[in-house]
Structure 1
Amino acid sequence: MPAASLAAVRSFVEAPQAQPARVARKRALAFKGVGKRFGDKVVLDGIDLDVPAGQFLAVIGKSGCGKSTLLRLLAGLDRPTAGSLTFGAEEDGHSRTRFMFQEPRLLPWASVVGNVEVGLTGIASGAEARERSLAILGEVGLVDRADEWPSVLSGGQKQRVALARALVGHPQILALDEPLGALDALTRIEMQQLLERIWVAQKFTAVLVTHDVAEAVALADRVVVIRDGSIALDLEVPIARPRRRGSPELAQLEGKILDQLFA
């Protein structure tokens, strides 16, 4: 090979090569120095939390630590007394957040499909609303109960309807306030698996408040521990899905969280 050509090859190989640009995940929401008081009682104090779009975040803590207040602020059900809360989707003018409560809160005078259609208020109506509601009921395994009354459903089935109502409008953010806490152990695991499956399919941002450490590490990409109104731990869960409940990897993460909860 001619000397000039050899030098050109060597120069190309040894020179630093351009790296592909890293694609940044869009921000779903951000708390900046957020505080919340009720009279003289400080519930949240200086919360800084940046959540990328599509992330599954679990917020855990003892009763009264401020985690449900944080969720209410996120959902717009309350306002901070300090700091700011912003949503990345506001840049596109279509921020949508839906809230799933501890109880199903179904309308007893409406059918199952009618309850789901409530989630499309202002988005769709008539035949389109029914079609979309039947489709999401199919996702949660209750399309065959669409025209029944909520009173004939089990507790787990009612929560499936509540989940369908929250998701039928394809929200960007789903806020979940311990929605599985009242279910028996087996039904709870089934609901966790259902929630995870739909989250993977729809790619919304999920923020789950829970007391259950095992539930948090089984479902979340990231776990935040709230103690005395502040973030005591912000922990990534770098374990591939599907996750095997009871595995040593999950148990190790549970131990770190419990150490913070009882510190």
Structure 2
Amino acid sequence: MNIAVRGAEAAPRTGVRFEGAPFLKPEPRADEASARHGPAVLPQARDVGGIAFTFRGLRKAFGPKTVLHGLDLHVPAGQFVAVIGKSGCGKSTLLRLLTGLDVPTGGTLEIASTERRADITRVMFQEPRLLPWARVAANVAVGLSHVRDGKEKRGKAHALLAQVGLADRAGEWPAVLSGGQRQRVALARALASRPRILALDEPLGALDALTRIEMQLLLERIWLKQGFTAVLVTHDVAEAVALADRVVLIEEGRIALDVEVQLERPRRRGSPELAHLEGIILEKLLGAPT
């Protein structure tokens, strides 16, 4: 296991650094880890289809209220980042600025691409936001505006639905689907244009516990296959450490903690390694020992 924990100021990537918390045991040798758990699937081993981006001195104010205070954040291409924090800390504002749905008051956003931001970023919200008057396949096809041929568009929509396990629901109305199924359709629509950056604004927050885990596994599987850069906003610390390569905690518009996680995938929910990391983050988030 390799976990690096940093505060607002950068710290070395080796070992663990966190005030008041014990250091973890060194990571076992690769051959020992493989013998216990099988080959590790780490971000470095993946094909990367995403792109990097960097916020420098990011500020956002709404009238007299400043939400983000000079935030600096660099995300490498293909990384899965989870952004957590209490309500009102600026998490969703960060996503809106990243995807161009809002403009910063100050600072800059640098994206390592010459393509239009609208062509390389997509957002998945907590609500599926499906068109109730359109059937499931037609909802997915909304994300295929770049495809002109109708037959090709229908074929791609059906292929995307198969990717999220809904190949047999293409002709149905959104109203007859469960909450988890509607979110699968929303995910298929978001992936339709093969985004380089996928922003996820608490997309699993309204689902029941089992459906949420199923959706986490689905999202992880697709991310591993496509390699896009993923930025997930969530209140769920367990979800953050289960999915992300890195967990960023925002407090009062600033980065208060930056935790890099390198654990084998798929990760074992409830494992001691994940529980330990959750404890470190919750201690900082809640301001008291857990």
TM-score bracket for this pair, using the shorter chain length: 0.7 to 0.9
Of residues 187, 196, 208, the one that matches 2:220 is: 196
Cα–Cα, structure 1 residues 126 and 26, in superposed 2: closer, same or farther, change >3 Å?
closer
Cα–Cα, structure 1 residues 212 and 50, in superposed 2: closer, same or farther, change >3 Å?
same
State whether structure 2 residue 99 is matched by structure 1 residue 75: yes
* 3-state DSSP of counterpart to 1:161: helix
Instruction: Considering Cα pairs closer than 8 Å and 6+ residues apart, tell me whether 1 or 2 has the greater RCO.
Output: 2
Of residues 247, 251, 261, the one that matches 2:275 is: 251
Supply the AA of the counterpart residue of 1:38: F
Aligned residues: CA RMSD: 1.8
Other-structure match for 1:241? 265
Other-structure match for 1:13? none
Supply the AA of the counterpart residue of 1:97: T
Shift of 1:94: 8.8
Cα–Cα, structure 1 residues 119 and 92, in superposed 2: closer, same or farther, change >3 Å?
closer
Structure 2-normalised TM-score? Answer: 0.80
Q: Distance in 2 between matches of 1:154 and 1:124?
A: 31
Q: Which runs of 5+ in 2 are unaligned?
A: 1-47
Q: Which runs of 5+ in 1 are unaligned?
A: 1-23
**Structural mapping, 1:43-54, within 5 Å:** 43-54=67-78
State whether structure 2 residue 176 is matched by structure 1 residue 152: yes
Shift of 1:260: 1.5
**Structural mapping, 1:71-150, within 5 Å:** 71-90=95-114, 96-150=120-174
In the TM superposition, what whole-angstrom CA distance separates every residue of 1:68-104 from its partner, at most 9, and x where no partner exists? 1001101110010010011112279995100001100
Cα–Cα, structure 1 residues 125 and 44, in superposed 2: closer, same or farther, change >3 Å?
farther
Q: Distance in 2 between matches of 1:262 and 1:176?
A: 24
* 3-state DSSP of counterpart to 2:113: helix
* 3-state DSSP of counterpart to 1:170: coil
Aligned length: 240
Supply the AA of the counterpart residue of 2:109: L
Cα–Cα, structure 1 residues 123 and 75, in superposed 2: closer, same or farther, change >3 Å?
farther
Q: Is the 8 A contact 1:37 1:43 kept in 2?
A: yes
Q: Greater Rg, structure 1 or structure 2?
A: 1
Q: Is the 8 A contact 1:224 1:235 kept in 2?
A: yes
Shift of 1:129: 1.2
Shift of 1:122: 3.2
In the TM superposition, what whole-angstrom CA distance separates every residue of 1:160-208 from its partner, at most 9, and x where no partner exists? 0000000011100100000000000000000000000000111111100
Of residues 243, 248, 268, the one that matches 1:224 is: 248
Q: Distance in 2 between matches of 1:121 and 1:25?
A: 21
Q: Is the 8 A contact 2:49 2:228 kept in 1?
A: no
Q: Distance in 2 between matches of 1:39 and 1:77?
A: 18
* 3-state DSSP of counterpart to 1:201: helix
State the identity as a percent: 69
Q: Is the 8 A contact 2:183 2:203 kept in 1?
A: yes
Supply the AA of the counterpart residue of 2:241: V
Q: Distance in 2 between matches of 1:149 and 1:95?
A: 28
